[in-house]
Amino acid sequence: MKKLIKALFATTLFTAIPFTATKAQAMSVSPQNWWVGMQNEALQVMLHEPNIAKQQWQLIPYNGVKLISISKTDNPNYAFLNLKITPQAKPGDLVFTSPTGERFEYPLHTRSSNSAKRKGFNSQDTLYLINPDRFVNGDSSNDTAAGMLEAADPKSKGGRHGGDLQGVINALPYLNDLGVTQLWLTPALENNMPSYSYHGYAITDFYNIDPRMGSNELYQELSNKAQQQGIGLVMDFVLNHFGSEHVWMNDKPTSDWINFNGEFANGKHATSHARQTIQDPHASQFDKRQFSDGWFVETMPDLNQRQPLLATYLIQNTIWWIEYANLSGIRVDTYSYSDKAFLANWTKAIMSEYPAFNIVGEEWTTNPAIASYWQAGKNNSDGYTSSLPSVMDFSLQEALIQALNEDESWNTGWVKVYQSLANDFLYPNPNNLLVFADNHDMSRVYTELKQNLNKTKMAMTMLLTTRGIAQMYYGTEVLLDNTGSNDHGDIRIDFPGGFAGQTVNAFTGKGLTNAQRDMHQTLRTLLNFRKQSPALGYGKLTHFSPHQGIYSYARIADEQIVLVFLNKNKQAKNWSLEYMQEVLKLHTTATNLFTKQQINLTDAITLAPMSATVLVIE
């Protein structure tokens, strides 16, 4: 989520587990259940109820499970049960009792088949980023929900428009046809804030879907139905902060649960956003703390992940959602703002449980020296070891927009993209970087490229054919545009056809302009080709220095070679491929991806003006 964000939002308890006997009042228990057969045998269950710390809980004997200890804090309203669940444990209900007659059951479930071996998203995938409130309103009955502080206000840029999980489910056939292989939804967890709550990043319940989005069961259904369409689900996690209406603000589990003693102090404790302090060998401890511990805004208190109980809570919350919703990946918001030692432990815990999983962290910097610091395998000078598989490539995003908007010269235009990719030597695994032209926090690519269709097609062709994991923002395929406004409400525009009363429908094609139809068909062709292309999926990238306004490169796999030519000139070019002999490997013919024409590679090829040409050699 972007560094500067507007004010926000309110609270619920965790997930309430009702007593099975004697007491009418509900106690909140989180996580609400767990699974047998996890690699990490430890489980810490948080109990929250007035004066719960006075209870002396006992576990009725259960084969394979032991209650090791009970952790108590300076707040008597919390207790933490420390359990060991060995491989001998079978699914069932743990039963806890207290001397005063309280009793509750805690479910242990069976993991889904091969859960630990789940495959995360990778360089063969395209992630489709959705703001669910602005995508499709599949259930108008939940637009305004009882108990939620903010009602629907679809005419307000910053209001809730009514999009929901049912809308995403309804759109799955469209997304499958488009060629999408992964869905990244901005957070759908409860954001019970008084206003500006639609974006999802001010969480007030880490274990429950916002009722205006649907329910936990519907989120699970979305995951299952997406998988039936060959589409994975990537969850957007927020580890750094939470919503100010969360119960923790008025009833902190520990006095050090929130940074700066839980006080924003009229901006005195706001984050500096000086991310370079993490790597800076000369940085003061004051500056480091101001960055990592500072709050974004008053309504987004900053979590203290150095608190071990909180660290465990966040790790278990992540694993719970992976198991519950059968996730194929995680995107972490504001990654570097969290305590870096915690981040090392968090990523290690997740990747140890799921070795083939994938996590991408948002480190909003165009400096690859800073971004690469966080990727797993990087040998950092300060000895920091990360287990984070992927980071977002903001350097390439900026370079691509600049390249297409600048005139060509020795240091402007395509050379910006060439130089950005040349910095890949800084990354342990550049093929696992997330590449994108825009996202929910920045102006749309069509807007940035001044509503130029050809430039937008070049930008998206480049991102869908270069190295890395591709991400596309919803509506790019129909040229959604925020020209004239940088307001997030205009960037996160309603998807055409997703809401009642719209005259344009991207799902049916009704009302689309010729340019929108052209863009849709171009991306549909690219995305579906990318799904099955070995060269684009895992092929080596070899690029050539830009020349005469043309940037060219090859993706090379044993089974296939893909040649890409991006021509910024306003006139056609007859282009000799003599300089590309090292990648052509004696091949003499190729097929144009878009026109299906056979191309003789021994002759000069014709590159149309302001265009992307993709040639496939099988």
Catalytic residue ranges? 333, 362
| Phi-psi label, residue 610: left if phi above 0, alpha if psi -120 to 50, beta otherwise | left
- Alpha-carbon distance of 102 to 122, in angstroms, equals 48
Tokens of 521: 């068909």
Tokens of 144: 């305004």
Tokens of 454: 């050809």
Type and span of the H or E element at 308: helix 308-325
- Alpha-carbon distance of 103 to 94, in angstroms, equals 10
- Alpha-carbon distance of 79 to 47, in angstroms, equals 5
Whether residue 31 is preceded by a cis peptide bond, meaning omega within 30 degrees of 0, is yes
- Alpha-carbon distance of 228 to 219, in angstroms, equals 14
Sequence-distant (≥ 6) Cβ neighbours of residue 223 within 8 angstroms: 233, 325, 326, 327
- Alpha-carbon distance of 83 to 101, in angstroms, equals 21
Sequence-distant (≥ 6) Cβ neighbours of residue 575 within 8 angstroms: 550, 565, 604, 605, 606, 607
- Alpha-carbon distance of 174 to 220, in angstroms, equals 20
Q: Are strands 16-17 and 34-35 parallel, antiparallel or unpaired?
A: unpaired
Chain centre distance of CA 596: 35
Q: Give me the sign of the Cα torsion angle 58, 61, 62, 68.
A: positive
Residue 79 bridge partners (DSSP) = 47, 72
Type and span of the H or E element at 400: helix 394-405
DSSP 454: H
- Alpha-carbon distance of 501 to 496, in angstroms, equals 10
- Alpha-carbon distance of 423 to 418, in angstroms, equals 9
CA distances from 65 to 58, 62, 96, 194 (A): 12, 6, 12, 43
Type and span of the H or E element at 206: strand 205-209
Chain centre distance of CA 225: 20
265: number of Cβ within 10 Å = 11
DSSP 109: E
Please give the biggest Cα pair distance in the chain: 89
The one-letter code for the residue type at 76 is P
Tokens of 599: 């191309």
Q: State residue 96 phi and psi, 5-degree precision.
A: -110, 140
The full length of the chain comes to 618
Burial of 597 (0-12, 13-18, 19+ CB in 10 A): exposed
Burial of 228 (0-12, 13-18, 19+ CB in 10 A): exposed
